Structure 1
Amino acid sequence: MPVPRPLHLAAEIGGRPRYDAGHYTRLALLAERGNLDFITLDDSFARPGPDALAVLARVAPGTGRIGLVPAVTTTHTEPFHVSSAVATLDWVSRGRAGWRTAVSDTAAEAALFGRRDAAPHDELWHEAGEVADVAARLWDSWDDDAEIRDVATGRFIDRDRLHYTDFTGRTFSVRGPAIVPRPPQGHPVTVVDGTGAAARETAVRHADVVLVRAEDPVTARTCREEIRNRAAAHGRSPDQLRVLVSLPVELHTGADAVGLARLIADWYEQDAADGFHLIPADVERDLPLLVDGTVPVLQHHCLLRRFYPGATLREHLGLARPAGRYAARSPGGRHAPSAAGRYAQNPGGRP
C-alpha cells in the first residue's frame, strides 16, 4: 500500500576537492538517474577548492531535472551579492536552484577578510536569518512581468514593476531593487541545517527545507513536530515545509544498499521525516550503490517515485511558488531607479 505522501531523497556530492567540473556533473547526472530531489555541495571559507555555488552553476547546463543546492556562507559576504548569485543559479538551471545557508565562526576565517572579528554563534545565525529575509525581498523586488524586452522601443523593463526593499538589519542594510530579474521559482529553495538551537530559530522562520541530525526515529519525529509547530507559530504553513533527516552512509555491497532502504522505509513510515539527506562517506563508491541498489528497492515498495513530477525543485518538493510581496503595488507604486541608474549606485551593503 503506497504511503499518502511522497518520500524525498537528497544527497551530498562533496568530498575531497576536485577542480574538474566533469566530476561534479557526472555525480549530479547519477543522482538525477535515481530521481533524487536535489544534491548538495558543501563549502566553507576554510575549505580548499572552487566555490560550491560556481561549481553547480557550471553543472546546471549539463543536467535536466535534479535540484542544485550549494552551501552559501552568509558571514563576511554581501547579502545583495548572495541574493544575486542564487537567483542567477536559478536562471541557469531553469528553476532548479536552492541554497543551504552556512555561517563562519572562526577567527582564522574572519582574518581572511579583515573586516570584523569572529562573532558568537547566536549572532551569526540571527544575521543568516536576516540574509535569508532580504534575499527573498530582493527576489520579489522585480514583479514577474517586469521585463518588457521591446527592441522597437528600446524598453527593457517596466519601472513601475520594480520595487525598493529598504531593509535594515543589525549588521547591514539593503535598498534594492535587485539587478537580476525575479527567479523562475519566485524564491529559490532555502535549506537550513536546523540541528542547533540558533540555526533552528532561523530555519523555522525562513527555511523551505530543514535538515536535522538524529540517532533514532523517535528523536527525528520529535524534531519534525517541533519544527512544524514553531513554523506555524510564526504564521507559516507547516505543509509548505519539508524536514529531512541527514544520515551519514557508508555502503560497500549491494546488501548495504538494501539495508539502507529498510532503514529509510522504517523511519519514514514512523513519520520521522519527510525524507532524507544522505551524506556518503565516499561519494564515488556510495552514490552508485545508492542509485542502483537503495533507490530500486524503495521504488519496488512504492515509497519513491520513478520519474520527476515537474521541472523545478519546488515542484519536486511539492512546494508552492510564492507570490511576489510587492506585486500589489504595481502599477502606480513607488518608482525604483532605472536600470542604468541602479548600476551607478551601491545597491546594498554593510555600513
Structure 2
Amino acid sequence: MYLGIALDGAGWHPAAWREEDARPHDLFDVTYYADLVRTAKQAGADLVTFEDAVGLQSSGFGPVDERRDEVRGRLDALVLANAIAPVVGGIGLVPTITTTHIEPFHTATGIQTLDYTSEGWAGWRVQVSGRAHEAAHFGRRDLARFDPATLQAGGPAADAQLRELFDEARDSVEVARRLWDSWEDGAIIRDVPTGRFIDREKLHYIDFEGAQFTVRGPSIVPRSPQGQPLVYVLAHQTVPYELAVAEADIVGVTPRNDDELSSILNQLHTAGERVERRTDDALRVWAEAVVLIEDTAAEASSALDRLDVSHGSAYTSDALLIVGSPADVADQLAHWHERGLDGVRLRPARLPYDLDRFASDVAPLLAAGGLLERPPGAQSLRERLGSTRPANRYARTESDAR
C-alpha cells in the first residue's frame, strides 16, 4: 500500500501550533520541513505533499477572516520543494500549485525544474481556486462566490459552480503534459566540433488552444528525468472526478465508511465512461485521512477535545478523522488496502508529533503486515510507485520514419 504524508504548517488541526511539541517559530524555516520530510521517509512514505494557495488561509469561502489564533502564511510550496530536494533524496516531493490564476507554462517548467533538482522525484498536486480574495491578487478575472451549501449537497447545481474552474484545470494539466514532452530525450547534442547544441527536429510546438489560454511551446526546460512527473488530484464529486480520470496519475478520495467508498469508486468508473483518459498509466485511487495518534483511543480522544477547546470549536474535515492508537490507524489503513485502494495520503493533525508517532509506532505495524514492501533501489518516484517512464508523444518511431 503506497503512502503519502500531507505537510501543512504545524498540522491539520488549527490549534496544533499551540501544542507543547509544536515548532511555531520554525514554520517559515526550510530546516523544519526538511526534518518532517526525513521523518516521512523513515516511516516508509513514498511521497510528501506541501500545501499552498494563492491567498492567506481562511476559515470559509468568503474573504480572509479576522481570526488571529490560527496559523496564517506559508512558504511557496514549489520553492520549498526545490530547497529540500538536494537535502533529502529518495522520496517524492509534490508541491500544491493552483491552476486558476497561474499560467500553465510557468507551472510546467517549475515542476520540470523540481524533477531535475530532485533527480526524478517530483510531482504536482493540482488545485483550483474559487475564492474572490485570491482572484483579487491577480486582477484579471472576477469569480462568483461559491455557495458552500450547494457544493456540499452535490448534484447539477454544484457541478455548474465547479465546471469552469475544473475544465480550466484539465486544460492546464494537459498543457503541462504536452510541454513535458516537447523536448525529445535526445534533443541535446552538445557537439562542439559541429557547433550543434540541440537537435531542432526534436523540439516540438504543442500548439494548444483552450477556453482560457493558448500555449505554443516548446518548454524552456529539456525533458526531465521522469519524462512525466506525477500528477495528484484531490477529488470529492463529479467534476473533480472527471479531471482526475482525464489527467491524474493518482486521485485522492475521502470516504468515511465502506458505503461511501463504494459510491466513490462507482462515480470514478462512471466518469471514466464520459471523459477520455489522456495518459497511458492506470489511475490509482488513494484514500485521505487526518490522523491523531496516542497510546490509546481514549487518550487520543482526550487530546482532540483539548485541541478543540483551544480552538473554540470542534474540528471538522472533508476526510475521515482517525483518532486512536497506533493499532487503530494501522487497522484502518489495512482495511482500505483490503478494499482495493492503492494507497493513502495522511494528514497529521499535529506536526511533528503525529508524524513522529506514525513513524515510530504505526509504520512498524504496517511493515509487519507487508504493506510497506517496495522494490529495492528505485531511482525515481515513478519507479517507486511501480510505473515506467512514459514514451514521448512527439517522438518519431521507426515506422514514422519509413
- Fold shared by both chains (TM-score > 0.5): yes
TM range (shorter): 0.7 to 0.9
Q: Pairwise mapping of residues 39-118 of structure 1 onto structure 2 (< 5 A)?
A: 39-47=48-56, 48-118=73-143
Amino acid at match of 1:305: E
Secondary structure of 1:326's match?
coil
Q: For the residues of structure 2 that align with 1:39 and 1:316, how far apart are their CA atoms?
A: 13
**Paired position in structure 2 for 1:300:** 368
Distance 1:156 1:46, change over 3 A: same
Secondary structure of 1:62's match?
coil
Secondary structure of 2:136's match?
helix
Distance 1:224 1:313, change over 3 A: farther
Q: Does residue 178 of structure 2 align to residue 184 of structure 1?
A: no
Secondary structure of 1:61's match?
coil
2:182 and 2:394 in contact (8 A); partners too: yes
Number of equivalenced pairs: 326
Q: Does residue 271 of structure 2 align to residue 246 of structure 1?
A: no
Could you tell me the percent identity over the aligned residues?
A: 41
Instruction: Return the TM-score normalized by structure 1.
Output: 0.87
Distance 1:306 1:242, change over 3 A: closer
**Paired position in structure 2 for 1:323:** 391
Query: Which is further off, 317-326 or 156-165?
Result: 317-326
1:243-302 CA distance string (max 9 Å, x none) = 10011111133771221001111221122x111110111120011111111111011111
Amino acid at match of 1:98: G
Distance 1:230 1:36, change over 3 A: same
1:203-233 CA distance string (max 9 Å, x none) = 1100000000110134224423542564476
1:291-346 CA distance string (max 9 Å, x none) = 1111110111112216755121111222222111110279999xxxxxxxxxxxxx
Gaps of 5+ in 2: 11-25, 57-72, 145-160, 297-323
1:21-71 CA distance string (max 9 Å, x none) = 111111111111122110011100123222101101101111121101110
1:15 and 1:282 in contact (8 A); partners too: no
**CA radius of gyration, larger in:** 2
Query: Which is further off, 179-188 or 236-245?
Result: 236-245
Q: For the residues of structure 2 that align with 1:331 and 1:147, how far apart are their CA atoms?
A: 23
Shift of residue 121, structure 1, vs aligned partner: 2.5
Shift of residue 153, structure 1, vs aligned partner: 3.6
Amino acid at match of 1:69: V
Q: For the residues of structure 1 that align with 2:110 and 2:193, how far apart are their CA atoms?
A: 30
Q: 2:29 aligns with which of 2, 5, 20?
A: 20
2:111 and 2:229 in contact (8 A); partners too: yes
Q: Pairwise mapping of residues 331-346 of structure 1 onto structure 2 (< 5 A)?
A: none
**Paired position in structure 2 for 1:145:** 186
Q: For the residues of structure 1 that align with 2:134 and 2:398, how far apart are their CA atoms?
A: 43
Amino acid at match of 1:245: A
**Paired position in structure 1 for 2:243:** 202
Distance 1:264 1:109, change over 3 A: same
2:236 and 2:253 in contact (8 A); partners too: yes
